[in-house]
Chains A and B, each alone.
Chain A
Amino acid sequence: MMEGKVDVKFGEWIQQGWELYKANIGIWIVASLLVIVISVATLGILSGPMMAGMAWMALVLVDRKEPKPQMGDVFKGFDYFLQSFLFYLVWGVIMLAVSFVTLIPCIGTLVVIVVSIALNTALMFGLFLIVDKKMEFWPASMLSLNVVKPNFFPLLGLLVVAGLIGQVGSIACGIGVIVTMPITVCILAVAYRNVFGVQAAA
């Protein structure tokens, strides 16, 4: 397991993520639409399992496994329902608690922004570990944190770039996110597989 320094290959990983997305664009758009509609309709309760489904699809494509994932495979995330649900619930509640710091004048908002960016970076591989290695949410979060810690700034850079690409779609009244969000998932799946290696797959 990579708990030391990792060689973060920005260009290569983004290129591979883009290729994965481009080759299966139809499936990704429908899957993304399902994820967003169901997550919003259920007040975020199903965000965890739906995103786990997308992570599962991305990992199958990264590993070039056959058969290729289909649109309905986004519901595969329900095989990891409890852990993915708890992952989103627990870290969501922690973020909500942290957001109360904004009540402190001047530095409050800055503190919340820094903490949320740091937390998102630390947990960037959490959901992939739950899906790939069938880990429980807390050990997965801690393992993600331990791997990210020594490579914090390069991985933060990757997450910012991937996140910006994924959010480009929000310019078009937010609807474009359906098209661009899966690109972020693909880039992160490529990064996960490069950091943790194929042998890590259960």
Chain B
Amino acid sequence: MMNFAAHLLLEKARLWPERIAARCQGKSLTYAELVRLSLALGGLLRGRGIGPGGKVFIVLPDSFSFLACFLGCMLGGVVSAPLNSRLRRQDYVECLADIEPALVIASPGHEALAAAAAAGTPALVLDDQGLEPLLRDAPAVAVHPAQADDVCTFFVTSGTTGHPKVVIHRQEDFFAVGTYMGKFFGVRQDDILLCSAKMGHAYGMFGSLIMPLQVGATVVLDTDKPTPENSLRLLRTEKVTVFMSVPVIYTMLLMSLDAREEALSGLGQVRLCFSAGEALPEAVFLGWRARTGLEIWQGYGSTETMTFVIGSRPPLIVPGVAGRVIEPYGAFILDENHCPVPSGVPGQIAVRGNTVTRGYLNEPEWTRSIFTADGLLLTGDMGVEHDGLFTVLGRMDDMFKAGGLWVSPMRVENALLSHPAVAQCAVTGGDAGAFSLVRAHVVLKPGHEAGPELVEALRSHALELLPDYMAPTDFVFHGSLPMTPSGKIQRFVLRQDASNG
């Protein structure tokens, strides 16, 4: 039997029933309680006719409820799709149409509930206060004897057009992530982990669920958006030892410390800081080391690989460089014919390893397009390798990240084009200081004038239609946009102009 949730939980609950599995909003959940709640959640689903192969959406903040739902699904053989809870209603509508789940579990008042109602999909409203009453009388589910190859989780990520890509992962992938990343990180039973990435993303799933539960450690869950205040408060009060975060949070933390304040003294318990999601600027790495004495470990991976395939840890950290291939993965730099290039020559990063997805749900063409004839996964990222050290240079397509989250340029452009003043537009990534941002290049219709009022109107318009992190913060007005002979906007020209200007 290869049921990863059973592997994570059942033995540990027997060995250390009283050990704390998770802390959230000042409350503790033991391993014994987590197992009981998860089995009961699986039983509740079974009672509703949702068993092996059935599909469930989880749209919850990081919380005890999230853990119980995700693990309960897996214990019962139900395929779960943990979704980013910051998306807009239309995103959930599209995900529902793609995946056709039997049930949507979401927190009270969440947009996903309205989407579920419109699609006629049953919904379960849940938060941590409602968890115990809901499950009090639910029978424990019989653990599903899953096979290694069984699909167990869908991660949803953005595509270039804005249409969601549903990345399939199997039981085996979870086992492999647990084993290999356990070795890389060396997390111990007495560790207390805090991860800024949410569990609706593969990074958060790893940092807040797979890794801590794998070794019997404690995870600290933050139901809110990660902010420097929250993070600092939790690091201090919860005595966190392993902090997994993203560059923007390290940046904000450095900026929130008063020069007179003693160097991050409250972080005395933290022994390991890790960053992923975006490249960590060298200045942030150096600033953090100066303030805390800790070198930030780094990882590079994707939803498709499910975890980190390239990483760096002391004493081998080179600031500004992603790092070396992590065992047992393979990483290669390929030219446009998918042939390896010599060391030092830039090309596309391609990877191999047994946690790599078999593809996207319902999208055989997309799936074919991400693999080479030899079965390597094409990441879509440009990179270069020197003496075994990999540097990530950026995307080959027009996708980019802002604040660590994927932004689809076409989706933002479509939102702006629906504003009456916009004739044409193109969206690129940019940066200001250590912050990565969304920049809109706009050509106005005749009769409209560029100015602060229009910028504000465009930004409000975008905020109504898009998740907040996708709304542009910088607007540049142009008389015309650079086009290819075939009429496509050349976003790369705009990117270069912006970085030179």
User: Is the A/B pair a real complex?
Assistant: no
B residues contacting A by CB (< 8 A) are none
